[in-house]
Amino acid sequence: MNFVLRENEDLWSHLKNSEKPVVMYGTGNGADKIISGFEQYGIRLADIFVSDEMYREGCEFHGHKLLRYADIKNRYDDCIIILAFAVFRRDLLTRIKNISAEYELLAPSVSVFGSDFFSADFLRKYEKEIDEAYSLLEDDTSRRVFINSLEYRLSGKPEYLFECQTEREEVFKNIIRLHDSEIYVDLGAYRGDTVEDFLIRTRGKYKKIYALEPDAKNFQKLLENMGTLDNAEFINKASWCDSRVLNFSGGGGRNSSLLGIDGKEFSDSGEIVHTAAVDDILDGDGATFIKMDVEGAEAETLSGLSRTLREFRPKLAVSAYHKIPDLVTLPLLIKQLNPDYRIFLRHHPYIPDWETNYYCV
């Protein structure tokens, strides 16, 4: 690589080689994935604890009786604590910092979609692409976020994220400047929270809004919350590279997603959802700002709006964390689709790095 990382051992090797007990903080889907990583890399899990407000006497997870942090402090003078859930609230971020002052605390970077893990092997496999993506970044802050993201993903040390985080307001002050005649395309509109944020930033003035949300329950809430807006089109479809019918994991949550987007064959389970290419939806009318949080389908979605990117160069906000390679591969794809884009990278307060986004103008 054209830059030198401070870390030279990946988290999985560190845990396997450490003599300290490995203790997990948290349960749920994130913990399931991390435990599968432990099994893959031969790491022994000693105990699991939860926050006091989540503790229930006698509960177990993966065969471990759930403990409280006080139990861990009584049981271990030294251990490695593995954070197994997402943290973005200020009070919880402060709690994590306080725990990390008492114990070694790590937060593994696992793929939101797919079963792969970030490791030293990834750096070797994608060395050429890493250098190319780094060279495309527009400013020093972007380059620092890129390097710190790699350092974090390799080591699991959350301090790398703390060092490079910025507030979302900085983006709309220094990179993406919205005006009162935006044509806004919200891909992954959920229940309308990002449409509402857009309306606040534009003081309710805009030319047109397109909002896509594939999950039926979320879409219904989206209509209830935002359905009375003028010049707004709400579409119950998933963005993709073309129009087709795919299977979908729904249920009304934020992580509803197309099945199989990790590159494997699409599952025959789940709900049925119709997809659409944004180029076809816009039908040549263009857009000025596109927000893309499509749960792992970012590459396919970008391909499905290639004409719009080439002809109109709308401002972009693209999630860069759903799949392990996204941090490296998405800027290359964006630049390929329109070489004139200026590409910025920002990380907003969040552990793990789930609020790391590319902003393009």
Span 248-265, pLDDT tens digits: 665 555 455 555 444 443
φ and ψ at residue 356, rounded to 5 degrees: -110, 115
Please check the confidence at residue 169 and state whether its pLDDT lies above 60: yes
Architecture of domain 11-108: 3-Layer(aba) Sandwich (3.40)
Q: Do 11-108 and 168-360 fold alike per CATH?
A: yes
Crossing angle for the helix pair 216-226 and 193-201, nearest 10 degrees? 30
Give the model's pLDDT for residue 230.
97
Give the model's pLDDT for residue 258.
53
Confidence of residue 2 (pLDDT cuts 50, 70, 90): confident
Query: What ranges do the domains of the chain cover?
Result: 11-108, 168-360
Give the model's pLDDT for residue 112.
80
pLDDT in tens, 107-166: 998 878 777 789 899 999 999 999 999 999 999 999 999 999 999 999 999 999 999 999
Model-wide pTM > 0.75: yes
Lowest mean pLDDT among 1-5, 51-55, 105-109: 1-5
Report yes or no: 93 and 85 within 8 Å, Cβ to Cβ. no
- Considering the chain, what is the average pLDDT of its residues? 93
Percent of the chain's residues with pLDDT above 90: 88
Question: What homologous superfamily is domain 168-360 in, according to CATH?
Answer: Vaccinia Virus protein VP39 (3.40.50.150)
